[in-house]
């Protein structure tokens, strides 16, 4: 039992939990991106057509987007300890099993499985941060764990390429899948909610709760799972301010998925750079996005601590970031490689600067529907992973990428407008049933 002296000073276990989420996000994106590293070798060995390879690339997005809402419901019902462990282990097992596949059908099926099993991950991340962090630290926490996706994309790709070089594409899947399985087991044995964590003292719990963190003290005393009700699903679709963040997330993810899919091809095919040069230059915008995200999160929390209004502190970085992303269209009007990369870097820096959007799920969602709201939020954002690559492919027919960059810029501008005109006052939504009672 903790003594009174120890309880006077808050423990800082929440930052240890944040480090665990960061590692989970890096593993998450490692298992999304390893297929792109292995693609050439897979195509050559299994004699896949470009159409088949494209279908394998897209398979993840279909199930990932489709299962965001069920994933959010599961997070609310079962909590992040068990669900995240199962999610990690199952998507990592599917990753590993790709290494023994001998044809298109098996690879396609396991990519579908990875998307399905990763679906609860980001709603769970948000649920954890909402429970462990007070309001004035939450944007920083979200920025730190979300930065794992940009840091992973910038630095893991060379490491994955080295593994593929020495162990082959099958070895790449087996090694990366094994890492995730081990981490899933570690997560189960180490993670606990704040009220159940043996290392947290009363001072830290009070600090989190008084600052707006939902440590769920009452829920911790009642181990029963919350049943799903259909009116909850209606609740997360009827509020204008939630639609504002849903549309905004689609806009943020649209720029992201341009960089995840078409950006290298744009540099090589449409701008005439060689593969080695484009590979080096492609890392620059990712590093800028990483810096933009961290800057945004810490700036937003700094403004909160300085008692700037929540609306300005939280919405301004997102709006500014989305407007900066509009600058991607500037690449249409320059021919210099340096200027092309400059506009791409500014746009992706803006994308990173806008990527603290999960803080609005924590701040706006009804307390008992944070997981479900996060699921809808990530579902609509995830649609960009399906729609944007297809639309760009259609718009770039005929050898010109001009319309594609205009499309990305327009979507980013619409996202900024959604935060300006739809989100309104930043405050938690009171469920309609509670208003009526």
Whether residue 16 has pLDDT greater than 90: yes
**Together in a domain, 41 and 98:** yes
pLDDT-based confidence at 216, cuts 50/70/90?
Answer: low
Percent over 90 (pLDDT), the chain: 35
* Mean local confidence (pLDDT), 326-332: 97
Residues 207 and 293 in one domain: no
User: Is residue 221 included in any domain, yes or no?
Assistant: no
Check whether residue 207 and residue 325 sit in a common domain.
Answer: no
In-domain check, residue 394: yes
Position 219 in a domain = no
Last residue of a domain, one of 159, 179, 212: 212
pLDDT, tens only, 130-166: 889 888 888 788 888 888 877 777 777 677 778 888 8
Residues 173 and 278 in one domain: no
Provide the angle, in degrees to the nearest 10, between the axes of the packed helices 337-353 and 310-325.
Answer: 160
Q: Of 185, 212, 239, at which residue does a domain stop?
A: 212
For the record, the structure tokens of 13 come out as: 């276990």
Tell whether 324 and 424 lie within a shared domain: yes
- Report pLDDT digits (tens) over 364-384: 988 778 778 888 898 899 898
Residues 6+ positions from 47 with CB-CB distance below 8 Å: none
Task: Give yes or no for a contact between 184 and 101, defined as CB atoms under 8 angstroms apart.
Answer: no
Structure confidence by residue, pLDDT tens digits, 419-437: 999 998 888 887 765 554 4
- Look up the domain containing 342 and give its range: 228-428
Per-residue confidence (pLDDT) for residue 50, from 0 to 100: 61
- Nearest-Å Rg of the Cα atoms of the chain is 22
332 in Cβ contact with 404 (< 8 Å): no
The predicted structure's pLDDT at residue 7 = 55
Residues 328 and 413 in one domain: yes
Q: Are residues 325 and 279 in the same domain?
A: yes
Alpha carbons 140 and 273: distance in angstroms, whole number: 37
Do both 93 and 22 map to the same domain?
yes
- Tokens 């088949």 belong to which residue? 52
Q: Is the pLDDT of residue 1 over 70?
A: no
pLDDT in tens, 119-135: 888 888 888 988 898 88
Q: Has residue 130 been placed in a domain?
A: yes
Local structure of 428: helix, strand or coil: coil
180 and 283 share one domain: no
Ramachandran quadrant class, 307 (left: phi over 0; alpha: psi -120 to 50; beta: rest) = left
Q: Are residues 115 and 80 in the same domain?
A: yes
For residue 397, give the DSSP letter.
T
In a domain, residue 2? The reply is no
Q: Has residue 6 got a pLDDT over 60?
A: no
In the structure encoding, which two tokens stand for residue 226, read together? 């919350």
Q: How many CA atoms lie within 13 A of 325 on its CB side?
A: 35
Cα–Cα distance, 437 to 431 (Å, whole number)? 10
Task: Specify whether 49 is located in the same domain as 166.
Answer: yes
In a domain? residue 5:
no
Q: What is the distance between the alpha carbons of residues 435 and 230, in angstroms, rounded to a whole number?
A: 18
- Domain presence at residue 4: no
- Which has more confidence, 332 or 48? 332
CA distance 245 to 134: 21
Query: d(Cα 121, Cα 115) in Å, to the nearest integer?
Result: 10
Average pLDDT, the chain: 85
Question: Quick one: pLDDT at residue 277?
Answer: 61
268, burial (CB in 10 Å: exposed 0-12, middle 13-18, buried 19+): middle
DSSP three-state, residue 272: coil
Domain boundary among 144, 179, 212: 212
Q: Alpha helix locations (H) across 47-134?
A: 50-66, 68-78, 80-97, 104-118, 121-132
Q: Interior CA angle at 320 toward 371 and 412, to 5°?
A: 70
How deeply is 202 buried, as exposed, middle or buried, from its count of CB atoms within 10 A (0-12, 13-18, 19+)?
middle
Q: What is the 3 state secondary structure string of 302-366? A: HHHHCCCCHHHHHHHHHHHHHHHHHHHHHHHHCCCHHHHHHHHHHHHHHHHHCCCCHHHHHHHCC
Ranges 67-81, 220-234, 275-289, 321-335, most confident: 321-335
| pLDDT (tens digit per residue) in 18-46 | 999 999 999 998 888 788 777 777 878 88
Q: Computed from CA positions of residues 424, 229, 193, 64, in that sequence, does the dihedral angle turn out positive or negative?
A: negative
- CATH number at 174 reads 1.20.1250.20
* Domain assignment of residue 286, yes or no: yes
> For the chain, what is the domain count?
2
pLDDT above 70 for 250 = yes
Question: What pLDDT is attached to residue 347?
Answer: 97
Whether residues 316 and 179 share a domain: the answer is no
Residues 6+ apart with CB under 8 A from 134: 207, 208, 210, 211, 212, 213
Burial group, residue 9, by CB count within 10 angstroms (0-12, 13-18, 19+): exposed
């Amino acid at each position: 039992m903790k003594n009174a002296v120890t309880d006077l000073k808050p423990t800082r276990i929440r930052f240890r939990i944040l480090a665990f989420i960061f590692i989970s996000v890096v593993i998450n994106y490692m298992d999304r991106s390893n297929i792109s590293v292995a693609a050439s070798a897979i195509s050559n060995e299994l004699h896949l057509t470009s159409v088949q390879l494209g279908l394998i690339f897209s398979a993840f997005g279909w199930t990932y987007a489709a299962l965001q809402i069920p994933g959010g419901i599961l997070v609310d019902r079962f909590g992040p300890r068990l669900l995240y462990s199962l999610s990690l282990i199952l998507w990592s097992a599917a990753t590993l099993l790709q290494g023994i596949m001998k044809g298109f059908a098996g690879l396609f099926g396991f990519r579908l499985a990875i998307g399905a099993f990763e679906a609860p991950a980001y709603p769970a991340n948000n649920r954890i941060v909402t429970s462990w962090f007070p309001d004035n630290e939450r944007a920083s926490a979200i920025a730190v764990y979300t930065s794992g996706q940009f840091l992973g994309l910038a630095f893991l790709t060379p490491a994955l390429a080295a593994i593929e070089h020495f162990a082959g594409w099958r070895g790449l899947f087996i090694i990366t899948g094994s890492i995730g399985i081990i981490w899933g087991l570690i997560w189960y044995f180490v993670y606990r909610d704040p009220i159940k964590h043996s290392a947290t003292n009363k001072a830290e719990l009070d600090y989190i709760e008084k600052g707006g963190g939902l440590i769920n003290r009452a829920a911790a005393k009642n181990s029963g799972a919350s049943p799903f009700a259909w009116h909850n699903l209606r609740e997360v679709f009827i509020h204008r301010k939630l639609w504002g963040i849903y549309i905004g997330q689609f806009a943020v993810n649209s720029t992201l998925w341009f960089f995840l899919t078409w950006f290298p091809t744009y540099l090589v095919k449409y701008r005439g750079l060689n593969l080695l040069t484009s590979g080096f230059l492609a890392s620059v915008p990712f590093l800028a996005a990483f810096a933009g995200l961290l800057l945004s999160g810490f700036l937003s929390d700094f403004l909160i601590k300085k008692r700037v209004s929540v609306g300005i502190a939280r919405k301004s970085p997102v709006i500014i970031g989305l407007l900066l992303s509009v600058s991607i269209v500037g690449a249409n009007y320059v021919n210099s490689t340096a200027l092309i990369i400059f506009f791409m870097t500014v746009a992706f820096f803006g994308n990173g600067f806008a990527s603290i959007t999960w803080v609005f799920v924590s701040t706006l969602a009804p307390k008992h529907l944070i997981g479900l709201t996060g699921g809808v939020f990530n579902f609509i954002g995830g649609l960009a992973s399906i729609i944007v690559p297809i639309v760009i492919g259609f718009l770039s027919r005929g050898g010109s990428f001009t319309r594609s960059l205009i499309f990305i810029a327009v979507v980013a501008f619409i996202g900024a407008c959604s935060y300006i005109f739809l989100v309104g006052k930043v405050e938690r939504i009171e469920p309609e049933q509670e208003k009526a009672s």
